[in-house]
Amino acid sequence: MTALALAPDPGIRYEPAAAAGADRAIRVSTAIAVLAVAGVAAYVSYWHAYAVVCAHGETGVTARLEPATIDGLVYASSMVNLYAARHRLPVPALARWLLALGIVATLAANMAQGWSHGLVGAVVAAWPAVSLVGSYELSPGVLSLSHDVAWTGQFAGSAACLCGCSACS
């Protein structure tokens, strides 16, 4: 029997199927949790911002749409960051600036809603914005981690990669 014929390829890390399955379960459960938190936080953050916009004179369609522009900006900027990370490109400076601006705006709108109840009220009202931004920022992390594993060749073409990118298929 030749030992060379049975030797594993040193460039590929082999893991038991149970470990790959556990990693997949972690990524899937994290993605579900991030989506759930983002959904609840987006709902609460929207209504906080809506109340602030209405309190400052906006009405009708404008009052209903304006809050979505705040959290939408955070989401869009986060997706540009994800795209850049997945394709190993530099993140555009505009995406970084707009992400920071969106975070400040959503925190300000949420804190303004709770400010009438003092500092504690402002902090409590800001929490949905923190959760929403955190969820937006975690979701690209979960997806890009999956993608980075595929780039190293460890799971390329396997069911362990969730991103469905061309490098993984």
Kindly report the number of other CB atoms within 10 A of residue 19's CB atom. Answer: 11
Q: Which two tokens stand for residue 15?
A: 């893991």
**Residue 33 — pLDDT band, cuts 50, 70, 90?**
confident
Using CA atoms of 19, 134, 99, 47 in order, give the dihedral in degrees to the nearest 10. 140
What is the phi/psi pair of residue 60, to 5°? 60, -140
What was the pLDDT predicted at 13? 61
Q: What is the CA radius of gyration of the chain?
A: 21
Q: Is the pTM of this model over 0.85?
A: no
pLDDT (mean) for 18-23: 75
Whole-number average pLDDT of the chain? 77
CA 1 to chain centre: 51
Asked if 126 and 110 touch (Cβ cutoff 8 Å), the reply is: yes
**Residue 15 — pLDDT band, cuts 50, 70, 90?**
low
Q: pLDDT tens digits, residue range 47-63? A: 999 999 999 999 999 99
Q: Where are the domains of the chain?
A: 24-151
**What share of the chain in percent tops pLDDT 70?**
69
Q: Maximum distance among all alpha carbons in the chain? A: 84
